[in-house]
Structure 1
């Protein structure tokens, strides 16, 4: 009987053996990783997380400038570094779970959106990419580990700050990882699936190297309160006591000691249960099962490559793929002799061919010229030599999946004329080389000059997605862009501006995102074209129609603030007094917008209006005293009576005669303002429709609504409400046309963050918006920016304002409906997509609704077409004209893009 021979392998099991062999991390002290390589001397690392830029959207000039900057970055290195790139699957579990748990009238929409996202994830791998730089500290020999740690912290701080400064010159940003993030990164590198499903908690990290205690009891002892000097003194006393004992006494004491287990340590938190080394892969076993890991090493490189060639491999649509680049600078003295020897060999080969009467090999002459040119640049200091190693680590849950993923990566690599071989019998060394240890165990290094090393530029792509939030769109590489506008740790504020020509899809984008935010936020829309009526009806929102017959709002309304915890009576009175003064100034701005011909009143006219406003409130018994603010507020009719009283011979109010004719101008607008506000904001979605206002009254209506919402937001903050608020102003340039309206909106953008809100403005007239100082202020206050398709007549002002490259400019001119450039810090392409129900809610015409009825089927067909790298033959569909489809990249889905 024939038997299959057992696969040779080396089984490393047990926590102690795995830690000793594979886990180098011993401790995370603040932002420093303390490593042990089996020697008594510890080594220390600092890890930077880098925010990248979109290299592919840059013009050739910008790409060349970036590569030149990367050359300067490499020439400035005096120590080795490791660049680690991790392609991780997008964590959609929490996002989908939150959607599916939605209750109430929004449940159907959220469930439909969750089903749509699952459809996308089933056809494309949704990948999130993280970029890291590992910086080592110089190894020092000392018995005092505390002193070594302090020295390493100082050195790593200086090196990290210098590298971050160099990266800022390239347009990149970054930050150092803290202790918990360092531990999480190691957990991802060893057990990626467990790290995804069971992320490291703060309680586990705090429990390392500490005794477990009861949560009901207070721990009186805190070892962190001891200073470094006290720890050093304690160590010196112990060494002195050990020195006083004789050699025999120490031996007797050692024999008498019993082996006592230690506390739970950091390595035990991240160590797998076993690691089995096979010739073709490494199998890592953990709590959730096992993973197969294989390492590919780049061994052959072509004669010439284009800068940024690594982008095509990094952006491959495959999760669970890591890239590790080890870069070590060499001094000229280390390579001069080697280069001289190679030059002598090539020169001798050429001379031998000439003596034998044969023509010299052209490759030898070219190689000799390259070496001589490199030696000359080294002598001048224009070039440096580096040893570089590039490894690709592939993970999978099964051997078949590992083989398929490995073959796809090798095909992508060979298509660029590179060659990468599996590290057979050395995959355990490959695993160590791809950990964030900064230690190249696999070798396979090659010599590169600065010019050739700069073509390895790895910081490409721009993943701006967050772990929580709502889906804004999809990235061309297939990943989702999920953002939480109110995440203050990632974003400075929740403000956003959208610039697009008419019909580009900006309204559709805002409708879909606003609908996804409704379960957790209030959305108030100022709608100049009645485009949000359908959405308002679908989500059972509140519809407010402002017309030329009535503006529905009493601009004189006040509110009585709720008492905040810990607020003194004096502080409460000060807040109320400040609000009342601000209310008076806002009313002056409103009247200036209403009564002036050019949008500006003189100072005397403003003083007269302010005096009349004060008297109007006093007539109702309302003063600066907060105790009077609960009384019934006046209205515009009462204000008109007081303002025109002196002209009618009534001197009771003492405001003086209206010599400016303001009361005559106001009289024709009195019918617009009701005696009492006719609406109550008691809905999460409120649509203010100003379509029926004529062009003269639209700025008045916008100003009134915005000021009314501002008052309500202040009231919500005073009442400590936990729901955030989005104020959406469609076509904000209508209000920007008037100086006072523009100033008020700019002030709104500056201060709304303090009240838990965000201002979203859209405009199709970018020149008018950007041509004012207030418009530029609103833009500067907006953390999120979305540029959609632009017209040739407005593209230049957009390019100047946002400092776009030629490639980004061409992208905006050629963008299809729903496509654009989105930015929080860096620009990234984004496509707006929606589920069928969301598309039905966001569309305003029957034709658009009918077009979106089968969008989900069309989207899946196009995803299949993109995934297979060839056109779908069904119904004779072909790629859009002028569009190139590249295998491994996701062309945006042409769906759900009605403005």
Structure 2
């Protein structure tokens, strides 16, 4: 325990003084922190970072179950832990600067969006909350540092794995911090501003405890420093043995102290720390921060479970919470409880002898103690020593005072009391570091039931450091996500479920527009809702109608330099996969319910193989670059035997498939008329009749899938791609279409893409095994306002609580529950220009003009395809 300073302020200036008094870290090895508390031996810690659950959205039954699970977690603790919660401000500078740098047709929209985000940030604080658990290792009895470190690593690994398993039962997930993450956590614990602006680089970490070398030196295999020192020592000993005079002369020479290397503590230590009675002033490279510690000293008689959530979620950045939990031995606690019970019992007896009524508070306290002793004896409860500290930061004394007053008012509103640690703020700073060391003390005894009410892992922050804004939390924080961040998300797939008019299209339009600077967006639009957005971003408009589908389903890709050995590879297997996809396509086109018999499929297979062979295309990948056949050629081969032509040898069409196909021949051009040369492509299938919409949707999806695979085979760095299918239930209602879409969702991640599906008929989507597969493969899920007729199936599928169910039924337009790992409320917001672009209302005149232009171009010759549905008078739209 630190002693009180002797002066009104005590200055710890210089790295050496700060290291000695405040920085206990000595080394970080394989996720283990070696700490020096001034004792004979080092102590060791590991740190776990956790995700959270939205406690407030849970039903009362789920909250009770969670608290019961937390009780079991506490009862299983055999060592003290520290729970550290850091409320950090969002850093939007990088995100906003990237928007301001965009200099193309999207510049006006992106700058309007940046201005809108700045307005949101000015209205209230944008906070990111991180949750950590600091786990200690038992003190080692050996003084051999290497052996002590190995023992600590083994013990900490077992403890971390066990704690993570226990927390998974509560619905929480987490990971153990590596060396760089631990170093950054310590850096932010001293100076949070500088930690964000100037994080410690890998090169600086590599330079700790090592010699600096020239970057021009050849990087060969070098012996470590310890080996070199041992060799030098042996060499000196051999040289000194024959020369005793030199040895005596050297003993008389005064020994000089050799400077040390740069150490890990020096990387995180601030330049100076000044201790005042009312705060601690920490000075760094750019400026200084004032730090004040508040200590919870008084607790109410009763508190509802999860009361800490209301304080943790306070709208204040730069506020840390440190909860120290230490289980006490039952023998130690039982004797103290026995003394307290004797005191209260004596008070009751004294009142009775004096003829007075017993004090009700003493009688109730006696009952509580007796009940606790009984539960302790049965093993149902344990006793814990709990200390709760709040660390408040501010760049100025005024900012610190204002933030402190607001936080104290929030604590008092819950009938708790927290006081500043006057003259002990330096000890408070040490208690809030991730050292797992309670320097302030100020502990209180709690049983398991009362300690479980401190449940701290509440909240729903799913934001990332980079990405685009998806929406805002109810507390004002932004939801910023990068769908292609493979370190935090398994894939970029997303599903959106909402009733008509809930705002799902508005959400997808705004998010896809924000992603356009960094990725391609391909939209399959069944209701022409994306025409306005396509025009505003100068996108590529592709119209599929009952006159022409514009796509040749027989398209292949291939390289002239392909090898014969590629036949068994992914490129060689593509031809087989193409044949199977074409059979699925003909099932949708020619059958009544999307299913053909096995004999019909066998006949189609023979015809397809012969059609490609007629163009010189076989299983050999070296033939795949040749001109593909078309639907007219396929029809000729399919109906050849019926017309008496035996040249192709496919057999007679006894199933009538050619007769069914003949009425659709006019839909398919001899060559594909679509060239994907734009980052936003809108495939409009509104003018297709209901029978052809699933066919058009499948045809477009298979075409995009072919293009994605082609881009990968070309081995050229490509932009990420989002394939957005609006009203995916149109394809999901057919079994073969559902299977294709499920396989597409499983494999698109490997090709740098993401599949986004949206639907308002959730029952049709969720009623199949393939639909549930797509849900399982979607890392991101967004449930918006639901109808009472569909809420039950949504609730069962996503395992929602009654509280979440009621939220979805009462949600306003644009509100919903978003999930990457846990559900969180989110509201869709947009800047004025984004809202204008996402507006689906178009004037009738402009719609008619664009349709007429498309019809004129579709009547042109097949050999030279038009520029994707746009008139040649406007080449800039291509």
TM-score by length of 2: 0.92
**Residue number in structure 1 paired with 2:628:** 633
- 1:625 Cα deviation after fit: 1.9
Q: Measure, in 1, the Cα distance between the counterparts of 2:564 and 2:122.
A: 59
CA-to-partner distance for each residue in 1:725-752, whole Å, 9 max, x for gaps? 0000000001111111111111100110
Q: How does 1:741-890 map to 2 (within 5 A)?
A: 741-845=737-841
1:790/1:813 contact within 8 Å kept: yes
Find the residue that maps to 2:257 and give its secondary structure.
coil
1:642 corresponds to 2:637: yes
- 1:623 Cα deviation after fit: 1.4
Find the residue that maps to 2:265 and give its secondary structure.
helix
Query: Structure 1 pair 562/79, CA: closer, same or farther in 2 (3 Å)?
Result: farther
1:711 corresponds to 2:706: yes
1:31 corresponds to 2:48: no
CA-to-partner distance for each residue in 1:496-553, whole Å, 9 max, x for gaps? 0001111111001100110010001000000000000000001000000000111010
1:9/1:276 contact within 8 Å kept: yes
1:438 corresponds to 2:436: yes
1:644/1:663 contact within 8 Å kept: yes
Q: Measure, in 2, the Cα distance between the counterparts of 1:631 and 1:217.
A: 52
2:784/2:816 contact within 8 Å kept: yes
**Residue number in structure 2 paired with 1:299:** 297
- 1:225 Cα deviation after fit: 11
- 1:204 Cα deviation after fit: 1.0
- 1:142 Cα deviation after fit: 2.2
- 1:577 Cα deviation after fit: 2.5
Q: How does 1:19-418 map to 2 (within 5 A)?
A: 19-222=19-222, 256-418=254-416
Find the residue that maps to 2:134 and give its secondary structure.
strand
Find the residue that maps to 2:206 and give its secondary structure.
helix
**Residue number in structure 2 paired with 1:614:** 609
CA-to-partner distance for each residue in 1:700-725, whole Å, 9 max, x for gaps? 00010000000001111122233000
Find the residue that maps to 1:547 and give its secondary structure.
coil
Q: Measure, in 1, the Cα distance between the counterparts of 2:163 and 2:231.
A: 37
- 1:221 Cα deviation after fit: 4.7
Q: Measure, in 1, the Cα distance between the counterparts of 2:332 and 2:232.
A: 42
Q: Measure, in 2, the Cα distance between the counterparts of 1:50 and 1:774.
A: 32
Runs of 4 or more above 6 Å deviation: 230-238, 249-252
- 1:585 Cα deviation after fit: 1.0
Query: Structure 1 pair 7/722, CA: closer, same or farther in 2 (3 Å)?
Result: farther
Query: Structure 1 pair 639/258, CA: closer, same or farther in 2 (3 Å)?
Result: same
- 1:575 Cα deviation after fit: 3.7
Q: How does 1:329-728 map to 2 (within 5 A)?
A: 329-561=327-559, 570-571=565-566, 574-719=569-714, 720-728=716-724
Find the residue that maps to 1:544 and give its secondary structure.
strand
CA-to-partner distance for each residue in 1:764-805, whole Å, 9 max, x for gaps? 011010001111111111011011111110001011001111
Q: Measure, in 2, the Cα distance between the counterparts of 1:276 and 1:251.
A: 47
Query: Structure 1 pair 716/678, CA: closer, same or farther in 2 (3 Å)?
Result: same
- 1:224 Cα deviation after fit: 6.7
- 1:231 Cα deviation after fit: 12
Query: Structure 1 pair 279/128, CA: closer, same or farther in 2 (3 Å)?
Result: same
- 1:576 Cα deviation after fit: 3.4
Find the residue that maps to 2:12 and give its secondary structure.
strand
CA-to-partner distance for each residue in 1:245-283, whole Å, 9 max, x for gaps? xxxx99986973211211111110000000000000000
Find the residue that maps to 1:159 and give its secondary structure.
helix
Aligned residues: 830
CA-to-partner distance for each residue in 1:818-852, whole Å, 9 max, x for gaps? 111111111111111111111110111279xxxxx
Q: Measure, in 2, the Cα distance between the counterparts of 1:459 and 1:690.
A: 47
Q: Measure, in 2, the Cα distance between the counterparts of 1:546 and 1:435.
A: 62
Q: Measure, in 1, the Cα distance between the counterparts of 2:591 and 2:228.
A: 75
Q: Measure, in 2, the Cα distance between the counterparts of 1:793 and 1:562.
A: 56
Find the residue that maps to 1:647 and give its secondary structure.
helix
Q: Measure, in 2, the Cα distance between the counterparts of 1:104 and 1:651.
A: 59
2:334/2:373 contact within 8 Å kept: yes
Q: Measure, in 1, the Cα distance between the counterparts of 2:306 and 2:279.
A: 30
2:532/2:842 contact within 8 Å kept: no
Find the partner of 2:731 among 723, 731, 735. 735
Q: Measure, in 1, the Cα distance between the counterparts of 2:107 and 2:546.
A: 37
1:573/1:625 contact within 8 Å kept: no
Q: Measure, in 2, the Cα distance between the counterparts of 1:398 and 1:165.
A: 43
Query: Structure 1 pair 363/142, CA: closer, same or farther in 2 (3 Å)?
Result: same
1:573/1:626 contact within 8 Å kept: no
Q: Measure, in 1, the Cα distance between the counterparts of 2:254 and 2:217.
A: 35
1:699/1:734 contact within 8 Å kept: yes
Greater shift, 175-184 or 713-722, is seen at: 713-722
Q: Measure, in 2, the Cα distance between the counterparts of 1:462 and 1:199.
A: 25
Find the residue that maps to 2:358 and give its secondary structure.
coil
Q: Measure, in 1, the Cα distance between the counterparts of 2:516 and 2:696.
A: 25
TM-score by length of 1: 0.90
Q: Measure, in 1, the Cα distance between the counterparts of 2:774 and 2:730.
A: 14
CA-to-partner distance for each residue in 1:537-575, whole Å, 9 max, x for gaps? 010000000001110101011122487xxx976237744
1:541/1:683 contact within 8 Å kept: yes
Greater shift, 536-545 or 581-590, is seen at: 581-590
Q: Measure, in 2, the Cα distance between the counterparts of 1:656 and 1:162.
A: 66
2:564/2:622 contact within 8 Å kept: no
- 1:233 Cα deviation after fit: 11
2:13/2:273 contact within 8 Å kept: yes
1:728/1:759 contact within 8 Å kept: yes
**Residue number in structure 2 paired with 1:853:** none
1:295/1:430 contact within 8 Å kept: yes
Query: Structure 1 pair 148/255, CA: closer, same or farther in 2 (3 Å)?
Result: farther
Query: Structure 1 pair 327/222, CA: closer, same or farther in 2 (3 Å)?
Result: farther
Gaps of 5+ in 1: 1-5, 848-899
Q: Measure, in 1, the Cα distance between the counterparts of 2:669 and 2:139.
A: 78
CA-to-partner distance for each residue in 1:661-688, whole Å, 9 max, x for gaps? 0000000110111111111011000000
2:495/2:775 contact within 8 Å kept: yes
Find the residue that maps to 2:618 and give its secondary structure.
coil
Query: Structure 1 pair 150/440, CA: closer, same or farther in 2 (3 Å)?
Result: same
Alpha carbon RMSD of aligned pairs, Å? 2.3
- 1:7 Cα deviation after fit: 8.7
1:561/1:715 contact within 8 Å kept: no
2:126/2:476 contact within 8 Å kept: yes
2:558/2:623 contact within 8 Å kept: no
2:14/2:272 contact within 8 Å kept: yes
Find the residue that maps to 1:196 and give its secondary structure.
helix
- 1:220 Cα deviation after fit: 3.5
